[in-house]
């Protein structure tokens, strides 16, 4: 089956009604075939398929919630701007490529400006529906979505449950403006209805005139979906008391509330379809097809040759680089004697440096104890350490009490002995006490004594 030819046969507009409808489920399988009497316009289920030589025209009716809906408000009353914004929003939010499906856009004028809504169906679903319709002996003339084709144009709520998902739509002028999809066992139906009504109120829409609740228990496999109509009616009665509630059962009951003119959801100008696998397998190859296949194969072979030459060139460059490195290693080996002598000299210098720095004991402990002995009111400005172990500390103190506290801490600190005040004077401007304190650091004195004896 050629889906493009099927699309060409779909009617765009018109007032002619079709008398046969094929109802599909969420998996894309035909649930039932419905026929309509011309006089009463009442739909009833039929088990008779078309057996004529030419396919019988029909309407493909999909359950609610199959199409991906995207909406976008545009403050300005410019339909071109609204269509551009809505197209960008659809491409941004759709998980799949929007070109691999069918999109239909509708515009409605609100108080805030133009409001656009796009319904998108994947190509795989349309393939499956058209193939099964052809297998049953029918030719689709229109594809109808219930949320896009309610019979009444007045503001209404449409509540349905299919494939374990509750769908709530606020529809005005055959266009769903706000909607919510709730999984069974998730948020309550009342919360979903309230959210939809609040969004519609923000758009400036009036209160719904009626509520259409579709009981899909006949076509559903979930027992929880059978309780949907009662729960929905209870929630509507609490949120919108006095609003008319229309309850319909089965697909034949839903068809009575849909407008069934030949208004196709499909648009050939906005749709891109991929041919099915069977169509590719059954198509014989011609000269153009052979050339079309040979050119990529030749390009692949040429690419492999280029890759092989690039690898060979890379290995040659690496070999040249290794040869240069080997010559440099020979030069370095010739200079090894001078380098070894230089290393020995540096090692001797390092030992000399460590002798007078790291190897001197108690340096860190002296500064640690001295820092712990200094009160907050005393500031040390100068520190001198003599080879005899005498430490000379000078600085400023706020008053004599702080200075006496500093002397007391020095006499009680570990390894500090004979702390005494060498001089003290009071400054005229700041009135601080300038002092000089002398004390002995025993480990330092012992270290220099041993070093002097070793030198003798």
Q: For residue 356, what pLDDT is reported? A: 57
Q: For residue 82, what pLDDT is reported? A: 76
| Domains defined for the chain, CATH in brackets | 3-282 (no CATH), 363-455 (3.30.1360.100)
Q: For residue 198, what pLDDT is reported? A: 92
The answer to whether the CB of 72 falls within 8 A of the CB of 89 is yes
Backbone angles phi, psi at 303, to 5 degrees: -65, -40
Q: For residue 197, what pLDDT is reported? A: 92
Q: For residue 269, what pLDDT is reported? A: 42
Q: For residue 378, what pLDDT is reported? A: 92
Give the distance from CA 96 to its chain's centroid. 15
Does this model's pTM top 0.85? My answer is: no
Q: For residue 435, what pLDDT is reported? A: 94
Measure the CA–CA gap between 68 and 405, rounded to whole angstroms. Answer: 83
Q: For residue 21, what pLDDT is reported? A: 84
Q: For residue 11, what pLDDT is reported? A: 46
How large is the C-alpha radius of gyration of the chain?
46
pLDDT tens, the chain, 456 aa long: 444 455 555 544 444 556 788 888 877 788 888 888 766 667 888 866 555 667 788 888 888 888 888 887 776 667 777 777 777 777 777 756 666 777 777 888 877 778 888 888 887 888 888 888 888 888 887 788 888 888 888 999 999 887 778 889 999 888 899 999 888 777 888 889 999 999 999 888 888 999 998 877 655 555 556 677 778 888 888 888 888 888 888 787 888 888 765 455 554 444 444 444 444 445 566 677 677 778 888 899 998 999 989 898 888 888 888 888 888 887 777 778 777 888 888 888 877 766 655 555 566 677 888 888 999 999 999 988 887 778 899 999 998 999 999 999 998 888 888 889 999 998 888 788 999 999 988 887 777 777 777 776
Q: For residue 278, what pLDDT is reported? A: 43
Q: For residue 379, what pLDDT is reported? A: 92
Backbone angles phi, psi at 455, to 5 degrees: -70, -35
Measure the CA–CA gap between 357 and 319, rounded to whole angstroms. Answer: 50
Picking from 411, 403, 61, 93, the residue whose alpha carbon sits closest to that of residue 256 is: 61
The DSSP secondary structure of 74-101, one letter per residue, reads: ESSS-HHHHHHHHHHHHHHH-SS-GGGE
Q: For residue 393, what pLDDT is reported? A: 93
Please, how many CA atoms are within 13 Å of residue 419, restricted to the half-sphere of its CB? Answer: 21
Q: For residue 285, what pLDDT is reported? A: 60
| Helix, strand or coil, per DSSP, at residue 181 | strand
């Amino acid at each position: 089956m050629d889906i493009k030819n099927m699309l060409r046969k779909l009617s765009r507009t018109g007032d002619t009604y079709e008398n046969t409808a094929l109802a599909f489920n969420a998996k894309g399988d035909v649930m039932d075939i419905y026929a309509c009497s011309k006089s009463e316009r009442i739909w009833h289920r039929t088990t008779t398929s078309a057996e004529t030589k030419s396919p019988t025209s029909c309407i493909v009716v999909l359950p609610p919630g199959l199409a991906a809906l995207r909406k976008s408000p545009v403050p300005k009353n410019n339909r071109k701007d609204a269509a551009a914004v809505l197209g960008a929003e659809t491409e941004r939010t759709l998980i799949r490529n929007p070109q691999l499906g069918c999109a239909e856009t509708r515009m409605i004028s609100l108080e805030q400006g133009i409001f656009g809504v796009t319904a998108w169906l994947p190509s795989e679903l349309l393939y499956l529906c058209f193939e099964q319709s052809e297998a049953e002996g029918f030719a689709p003339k229109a594809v109808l979505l219930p949320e896009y084709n309610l019979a009444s144009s007045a503001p209404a709520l449409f509540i349905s449950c299919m494939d374990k998902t509750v769908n709530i739509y606020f529809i005005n002028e055959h266009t769903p403006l706000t909607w919510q999809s709730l999984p069974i066992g998730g948020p309550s139906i009342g919360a979903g209805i309230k959210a939809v009504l609040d969004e519609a109120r923000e758009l400036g829409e009036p209160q719904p005139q009626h509520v259409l609740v579709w009981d899909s228990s006949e076509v559903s496999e979930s027992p929880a979906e059978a309780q949907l109509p009662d729960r929905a009616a209870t929630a509507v009665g609490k949120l919108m008391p006095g609003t008319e509630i229309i309850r319909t059962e089965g697909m034949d009951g839903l068809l009575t509330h849909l407008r069934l003119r030949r208004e196709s959801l499909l648009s050939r100008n906005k749709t891109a379809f991929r041919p099915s696998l069977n169509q590719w397998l059954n198509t014989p190859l011609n000269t153009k097809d052979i050339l079309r296949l040979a050119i990529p194969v030749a390009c692949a072979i040429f690419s492999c040759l280029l890759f092989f030459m690039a690898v060979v060139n890379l290995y040659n460059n690496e070999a040249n680089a290794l040869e240069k490195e080997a010559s440099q290693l020979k030069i370095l080996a010739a200079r090894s004697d001078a380098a070894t002598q230089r290393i020995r000299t540096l090692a001797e210098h390092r030992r000399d440096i460590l002798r007078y720095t790291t190897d001197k004991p108690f340096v860190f402990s002296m500064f640690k104890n001295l820092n712990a002995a200094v009160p907050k009111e005393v500031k040390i400005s100068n520190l001198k350490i003599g080879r005899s172990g005498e430490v000379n500390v000078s600085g400023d103190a706020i008053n004599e009490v702080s200075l006496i506290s500093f002397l007391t801490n020095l006499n009680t600190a570990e390894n500090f002995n004979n702390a005494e005040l060498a001089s003290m004077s009071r400054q005229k401007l700041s009135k601080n006490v300038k002092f000089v304190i002398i004390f002995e650091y025993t480990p330092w004195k012992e270290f220099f004594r041993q070093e002097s004896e070793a030198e003798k």
